A and B are shown apart, each in its own frame.
Chain A
Amino acid sequence: MDEKIVILTMVGMMLVTYIPRVAPMLALASKTLPEPMVRWLSYVPTAVLSAMLFPSLVLKENSLDFSAENYFLWAAIPAFLLAWKTKSFFGTVALGMVLVAAGRYFFG
Chain B
Amino acid sequence: MKERPELTTEVLNKDEIVSTPFVSALKQVSPIIMGYVPVGAAFGVLAHKTGLSMLSTLLMSTIVFAGSAQLIAVALFAAGVPPVSIIATTFVVNLRHLLMSASLAPNLKGWKKWELALFSFEITDESFAVHSARFARGDNSKSVTFLINVLAQISWIIASWVGFLTGSAIPDIKPLGIDYALPAMFIALLVMQTKHKLHVFVAGFTGLTAIALIQAGADQWAVIIATVIGATVGAGVESWMKK
Binding site for B on A (CB under 8 A): 1, 3, 5-14, 16-18, 20-30, 33, 36, 38-59, 62-64, 71-72, 75-76, 79-80, 83-84, 87-90, 92-93, 95-102, 104-105
Chain A neighbourhood of B125, CB < 8 A: 52
Q: Is the interface of A mostly helix, strand, loop or mixed?
A: helix
Cα-based distance from A97 to B100 in the complex (angstroms): 26
Interface residue SS majority, chain B? helix
- Could you say which residues of chain B place their CB within 8 Å of the CB of A29? 105-106, 108-109, 111, 116
Total contacts A-B at CB 8 Å: 289
| Surface stretch bound by A, among B8-16, B36-44, B150-158, B205-213 | B205-213
Q: How far is the CA of A1 from the CA of B80 in the complex (A)?
A: 9
Q: Is the CB of A47 within 8 A of B211?
A: no
Q: With A40-B232, A43-B235, A48-B227 as known contacts, state yes or no: A20 contacts B94, CB within 8 Å.
A: yes
B102 and A44 within 8 A (CB): yes
Closest to B200 in A: A46
Q: With A9-B87, A24-B102, A51-B222 as given contacts, are A89 and B64 in contact (CB-CB < 8 Å)?
A: no
Contact B214 A55 (CB under 8 A): yes
Chain B residues with CB under 8 Å of A93's CB are 31, 181, 184-185, 188
B187 CB-CB contact with A under 8 Å: yes
CB neighbours (8 Å) of B105 from chain A are 24-25, 27-29
Contact B239 A50 (CB under 8 A): no
* Contact A50/B210 with A21-B121, A39-B235, A96-B183 known, Cβ cut-off 8 Å: yes
- B164-197 interface bits toward A, Cβ cutoff 8 Å, 1 = contact, 0 = none: 0000000000111111110111111111111000
